Amino acid sequence: MSEQELNQRPEGSMLAAVMYGARDVRLEQRPIPKVGPEEVLVKIVAIGVCGSDVHFYWDGRIGKRVVRKPMILGHESAGIVVAVGENVTLVKVGDRVALEPGIPCRRCSYCKTGHYNLCPDVAFMAAPHTDGAMREYFKIPEDLLFKLPDNMSFEDGTLVEPLSVGVYAARRGRIVPGDRVVILGAGTIGLMVLQAVKVYGAARRVVIDLQADRLEMAKKLGATEVINPREQDPDKIIEELMPGGCDVVMEAAGAVPTIQMATRLVRKGGRIVFLGMPGVDEVPVNMLDIIVKEVDVMGMFRYNNVYGEAVRMISEGLVEVRSLHTHTYPLEQAAEAIEKAHACEVGTIKVIIKP
């Protein structure tokens, strides 16, 4: 889209970064959505680039989720309420908010038992084929908005979503004070898991990753020890630190070697939480380790009922997120922003887009 077209947009239109296929993102004009009685229109101020955005952009798919028609990426978002439906009571025009990105059906057994993250009909931003938040305005039900306290920036608001993954992982892993936890992967999600388990009372928090700069960040954010497998043998170090293994392994890398490492590092009677999304459907694991050690193995998918808690943790200073924000791009450079996140260069953790 040319600069002249940008400056001559018709009234009632907005800009959106639309993905047409792998490595094909185009800036387009779209109509600004109109709100229904229980809906709210949010002017998007900041969007974080997630690993899923990178996968969809780079490969056009994540496992069986394939992008088959144009789709707007982005689900880590924050903004300002600019219009509300006639029945809206929870927010008002001018409120600063974070947006929980999954809109469930609210009728199925999963939704009715509080497991709305498992709703088969959930419309999750930037998952085929629901448009995401890399645009100027977004329409959303009022109960999926969470007000940002005055001490939180919009950039902080984008990190509520990945922190929610960390908080939910701590809950799934049944973290209790004194637990010894190993976190595999120190990307944004791994660093959020680290901080969440610290809040929940984990006494020993070991982070394993291949990137030295991310391990340095993990130290700043509460890791008691860090291990770089390029330089140390993780199995040997964990056995020295925690004879018999750790209480909980949090696999946040989604890589075949770390998935396989998890069963070796956990103690008898321990727990493993798999939250990283691997690039393949099937990974060989040591079943004898799981059986003989009597290990509880848990998957987790996104999160449920933790968004408000994540906002509180950031606002009260229990979790530090600002140091994770390393790069900012305008919406017009959405493709460049995603490419930056994909490169995983030294010093790059969270890339944020600002319309």
pLDDT tens digits, 215-235: 999 999 999 999 999 999 999
List beta partners, residue 140. Answer: 40
User: In the predicted model, is pLDDT for residue 200 greater than 70?
Assistant: yes
One domain, residues 149 and 171: no
Percent of the chain surpassing pLDDT 70:
98
Token pair belonging to 34: 């109109």
One domain, residues 102 and 179: no
One domain, residues 169 and 267: yes
List beta partners, residue 16. Answer: 28, 135
One domain, residues 10 and 129: yes
3-class SS of residue 165: helix
One domain, residues 257 and 346: no
Cβ contacts of 20 within 8 Å, gap of 6 or more:
26, 70
> Can you give the CATH number for the domain in which 274 is found?
3.40.50.720
One domain, residues 27 and 142: yes
One domain, residues 108 and 242: no
One domain, residues 169 and 155: no
- Mean pLDDT in residue range 199-204: 98
- Mean pLDDT in residue range 154-177: 98
- Mean pLDDT in residue range 47-69: 92
Alpha-carbon span 197 to 112, nearest angstrom: 28
Cβ contacts of 71 within 8 Å, gap of 6 or more:
18, 19, 56, 126, 128, 129, 130, 131, 132
- Domain hosting residue 65, numbered range: 3-159+321-354
**pLDDT for the residue numbered 230:** 97
Burial letters 167-193, b for 16+ CB under 10 A, else e? bbbbbbbebeeebbbbbbbbbbbbbbb
**pLDDT for the residue numbered 75:** 98
Note the maximum CA span of the chain: 68
User: In the predicted model, is pLDDT for residue 177 greater than 80?
Assistant: yes
Token pair belonging to 195: 């901080």
125-141 pLDDT, tens digit per residue, is 999 989 999 999 999 99
One domain, residues 197 and 128: no
**pLDDT for the residue numbered 6:** 56
One domain, residues 19 and 149: yes
**CA atoms within 13 Å, Cβ hemisphere of 24:** 9
Query: φ and ψ at 81, to 5 degrees?
Result: -70, 125
Residue 135 has what DSSP assignment?
A: B
268-286 pLDDT, tens digit per residue, is 999 999 999 888 889 999 9
Cβ contacts of 15 within 8 Å, gap of 6 or more:
1, 6, 9, 27, 28, 29, 30, 135, 136, 331, 332, 355
User: In the predicted model, is pLDDT for residue 1 greater than 60?
Assistant: no
Integer distance in angstroms from the first to the last C-alpha of the chain? 15
How many structural domains comprise the chain?
A: 2
pTM of the entire structure?
0.94
306-335 pLDDT, tens digit per residue, is 999 999 999 999 999 999 999 999 999 999
Residue 306 resides in a domain: no
Q: In terms of C-beta distances under 8 Å and separation of at least 24 residues, what long-range contacts does 82-87 make, across chains too?
A: 82/41, 82/42, 82/43, 82/137, 83/35, 83/40, 83/41, 84/35, 84/39, 84/40, 84/41, 84/142, 85/35, 85/36, 85/37, 85/38, 85/39, 85/40, 85/142, 86/37, 87/37, 87/38
283-305 pLDDT, tens digit per residue, is 999 999 999 999 999 999 999 99
